[in-house]
């Protein structure tokens, strides 16, 4: 038995060979390197950090950013990379889907994700009521879907009308044309009220890849979008 | 006064002209389209969702995925797009930094981010103890930094030794060579214990862009990495 470290995310796999894919970040086996057979914690070195996992903090040290500080800091946020996704849900017989970019995996065991949704969006209410949602991963051919689901609101129109979709295990719509889908069931006590948005934390309850192509990133969309 | 909808994320801006950049997702002004002057909530349409913002759910409907279900679902996670970042912190006079890919903005007012960090990582302990961290956004020339900060652990070596960095406002290390930096102060009551990982939710307390170049994405890193 060896320890194998994922050279991208640091995940340690224990076994005779590295896993086919890193369960944390998806890196393929070639990204694993053999590390010491001793558990990391037992190795000599700079020592354990001054406090372990529990997250505590006696008091806030930093005041909220003033307008000028915020103006300076804000452009750094635009350097964060995102994909583009269609997030759907169903509640009370109503279906809707919207575009979203804040979609991340947060653990691999269990498969757990977080998605950020603006509270004013129609889909937010559906997710809150039903506790479930679907995520479709857009491919690089997904411009029409961004246009349809991102440019109008379920508050005003029935975006599902005339669109091709099927219902997933949770009853959420899986919009045709995405590369991959997964569905999540939220964990209410772990969801975060983030002011304008809710960060829904959810266990994955289904998933599949239909086309093994490159996902649409937000940067790709921005670079290739044409005005309609 | 008009309402302007960000055609990427749905954000509504009220004003005579669209904002230069969407405060939610960073889309430039050209991505905004004029929408009805009435507030979205007041417009006729499919109606309001069956429940509003509060996140509640009476009981779990879906059992945890079995091994075969998980095997089918897991590849869909690998279609989620990420950037690559250097996350640093300082506590008790100890400095460290590591690679991370789970970094997202969750609100723009206030500037608020979430980062996912494995509890076994040395940096996790530093963030938990100090309540603060730095994020450096890697550029497409960041391979050496990924190698240095991602291929070894602060449990074993002092990764900062011999590296060029300065300390940010929070005392966290800003590693030289990144495109952009920001620092966050965690909000303990909003951080999520996600099992193997903590999702640290934090208010941004500083930020700057040093080079306006394309960020390193995880996909780009994977496509361009060479074995050392």
Instruction: Determine which helix (DSSP H) or strand (DSSP E) holds B87, and give its type and residue range.
Output: strand B85-91
B9 with B101, same domain?
Answer: no
**pLDDT, mean of residues A152-170:** 93
- Report yes or no: A71 at the B interface, CB cutoff 8 Å: no
Spatial separation of the C-alpha atoms in residues B192 and A190, rounded to whole Å: 6
Contact in structure between A134 and A126 (CB atoms under 8 Å): no
State the pLDDT at residue A56: 62
Spatial separation of the C-alpha atoms in residues A211 and A17, rounded to whole Å: 28
Q: Provide the CATH number for the domain around residue A103.
A: 2.30.110.10
Which of B51, B78, B151 is opposite residue A26, by nearest beta carbon?
Answer: B78
- pLDDT of B7 over the 90 cut: no
Contact in structure between B195 and A110 (CB atoms under 8 Å): yes
**pLDDT, mean of residues A154-163:** 92
A102 with A162, same domain?
Answer: yes
State the pLDDT at residue A48: 41
* A-B Cβ pairs (cutoff 8 Å, strict): 426
Average pLDDT, chain B: 86
- Quote ipTM for the complex: 0.80
- Report yes or no: A148 at the B interface, CB cutoff 8 Å: no
B33 with B119, same domain?
Answer: no
pLDDT more than 90, % of chain B? 64
Contacts 24+ apart (CB under 8 A), A18-25: A21/B74, A21/B78, A23/A108, A23/A109, A23/B74, A24/A108, A24/B118, A24/B196, A25/B82, A25/B101, A25/B218
> Residues A33-71: pLDDT tens digits?
777 644 333 333 444 433 344 566 557 789 999 999 999
Decide which of B159 and B10 is more confident. Answer: B159
Q: Provide the CATH number for the domain around residue B33.
A: 2.20.28.10
Spatial separation of the C-alpha atoms in residues A94 and A219, rounded to whole Å: 32
Q: Is residue A149 part of a domain?
A: yes
In B91-168, which ranges are continuous DSSP H helix?
122-130, 143-150
Count of domains forming chain A: 2
A21 with A106, same domain?
Answer: no
In angstroms, the separation between the Cα of residue A39 and the nearest Cα of chain B is 10
State the pLDDT at residue A74: 95
Contact in structure between B175 and B145 (CB atoms under 8 Å): yes
- pLDDT of B37 over the 70 cut: no
The residues in A 14-33 lying below 8 A from B, measured between CB atoms, are: 21, 23-28, 30-31, 33
The answer for residues whose C-beta is within 8 angstroms of residue B121's C-beta and 6 or more apart is A10, B98, B153, B154
Decide which of A24 and B150 is more confident. Answer: B150
Which of A10, A70, A104 is opposite residue B99, by nearest beta carbon?
Answer: A10
**Segments forming the whole domain that contains residue B181:** 85-224
> Residues A113-140: pLDDT tens digits?
999 999 989 999 999 999 999 999 999 9
| Cβ neighbours of A42 (radius 10 Å) | 8
A112 with A17, same domain?
Answer: no
- Residues of A whose CB is below 8 A from B198: 53, 55
> Residues B114-142: pLDDT tens digits?
999 999 899 999 999 999 999 999 999 99
Q: Which of A49, A107, A182, A189 to probe by mutation at the B interface, max B CB count within 10 Å?
A: A49
Contact in structure between A128 and B52 (CB atoms under 8 Å): yes
State the pLDDT at residue A4: 82
pLDDT more than 70, % of chain B? 89
Q: Using CA coordinates, name the residue in chain A closest to B157.
A: A45
User: DSSP state, B215?
Assistant: B
Q: Which of B3, B79, B227 to probe by mutation at the A interface, max A CB count within 10 Å?
A: B79
State the pLDDT at residue A225: 85
pLDDT more than 90, % of chain A? 65
Spatial separation of the C-alpha atoms in residues B168 and B89, rounded to whole Å: 10
Q: Is residue B143 part of a domain?
A: yes
Q: Which of A79, A95, A108, A123 to probe by mutation at the B interface, max B CB count within 10 Å?
A: A79
Nearest CA to B26 out of B222, B200, B207, B218 is that of B207
**pLDDT, mean of residues A72-94:** 95
State the pLDDT at residue A44: 34
Q: Which DSSP string do the residues of chain A spell out, in sequence order?
A: -EEEEETTT--EEEESS--SB-TTT--BGGGEEEE-SS-GGGS-SS-S-SS-S----SS--SPPPPHHHHHHHHHHHTTS--B-EEEEEEETTEEEEEEE--EEEEEETTEEEEEEEETTSHHHHHHHHHSEEEEEE-BTT-HHHHHHHHSS-TTTS-TTTT--EEE-TTS-EEETT-SEEEEEEE-GGG-EEETTEEEEEEEEEEEEES--SPBPBHHHHHHH----
Q: Is residue B124 part of a domain?
A: yes
A111 with A27, same domain?
Answer: no
- pLDDT of B21 over the 80 cut: no
- Residues of B whose CB is below 8 A from A70: 111
- pLDDT of B227 over the 60 cut: no
Tell me whether residues B76 and A180 touch, CB distance under 8 A: yes
Q: Is residue A80 part of a domain?
A: no
- Residues of A whose CB is below 8 A from B104: 80, 82, 102, 104, 114, 116
Longest CA–CA span in chain A (Å) reads 63
B119 with B214, same domain?
Answer: yes
User: DSSP state, B66?
Assistant: P
- pLDDT of A87 over the 50 cut: yes
**pLDDT, mean of residues B49-62:** 59
Tell me whether residues B81 and A215 touch, CB distance under 8 A: yes
The residues in A 199-218 lying below 8 A from B, measured between CB atoms, are: 199-201, 203-209, 214-215, 217-218
B37 with B90, same domain?
Answer: no
Q: Is residue B78 part of a domain?
A: no
State the pLDDT at residue B55: 62
Q: Is residue A122 part of a domain?
A: yes
**pLDDT, mean of residues B86-97:** 94
Spatial separation of the C-alpha atoms in residues A131 and A115, rounded to whole Å: 13
Q: Is residue B49 part of a domain?
A: no
- pLDDT of B190 over the 60 cut: yes
| Bridge partners, A98 (sequence order) | A87
Tell me whether residues B77 and A204 touch, CB distance under 8 A: yes
Average pLDDT, chain A: 86
| Bridge partners, B139 (sequence order) | B215
Nearest CA to A155 out of B41, B37, B51, B10 is that of B41
State the pLDDT at residue A166: 97
State the pLDDT at residue B59: 73
Tell me whether residues B198 and A72 touch, CB distance under 8 A: no
B89 with B187, same domain?
Answer: yes
Spatial separation of the C-alpha atoms in residues B227 and A66, rounded to whole Å: 45
- Report yes or no: A194 at the B interface, CB cutoff 8 Å: yes
B37 with B142, same domain?
Answer: no
> Residues B210-223: pLDDT tens digits?
999 999 999 999 89
Q: Is residue B215 part of a domain?
A: yes
The residues in B 28-57 lying below 8 A from A, measured between CB atoms, are: 28, 30-31, 33, 36, 40-41, 43-57
> Residues A186-213: pLDDT tens digits?
999 999 999 999 999 999 999 999 999 9
Contact in structure between A58 and A196 (CB atoms under 8 Å): no
B90 with B203, same domain?
Answer: yes
Q: Which of A32, A52, A77, A149 to probe by mutation at the B interface, max B CB count within 10 Å?
A: A77
State the pLDDT at residue A55: 62
C-alpha separations of A141 from A85, A177, B26, B126 in Å: 12, 9, 22, 42
B34 with B141, same domain?
Answer: no
């Amino acid at each position: 038995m060896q320890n194998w470290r994922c050279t991208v995310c640091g995940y340690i796999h224990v076994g005779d060979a590295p896993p086919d894919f890193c369960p944390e970040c998806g890196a393929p086996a070639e990204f694993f390197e053999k590390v010491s057979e001793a558990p990391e914690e037992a190795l000599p070195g700079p020592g354990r950090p001054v406090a372990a996992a529990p997250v505590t903090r006696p008091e806030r040290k930093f005041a909220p950013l003033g307008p000028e500080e915020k103006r300076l800091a804000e452009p750094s946020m635009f350097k964060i990379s995102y994909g583009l996704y269609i997030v759907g849900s169903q509640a009370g017989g109503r279906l809707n889907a919207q575009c979203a970019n804040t979609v991340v995996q947060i653990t691999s065991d269990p498969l757990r994700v977080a998605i950020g949704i603006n509270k004013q969006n129609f889909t937010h209410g559906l997710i809150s009521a039903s506790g479930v949602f679907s995520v479709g991963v857009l491919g690089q051919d997904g411009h029409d879907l961004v246009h349809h689901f991102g440019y109008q609101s379920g508050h005003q129109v029935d975006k599902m009308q005339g669109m091709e979709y099927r219902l997933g295990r949770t009853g959420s719509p899986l919009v045709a044309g995405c590369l991959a889908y997964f569905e999540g069931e939220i964990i209410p006590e772990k969801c975060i009220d983030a002011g304008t948005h809710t960060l829904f934390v959810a266990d994955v309850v289904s998933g599949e890849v239909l086309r093994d192509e490159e996902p649409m990133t937000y940067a790709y969309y921005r670079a290739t979008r044409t005005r309609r």
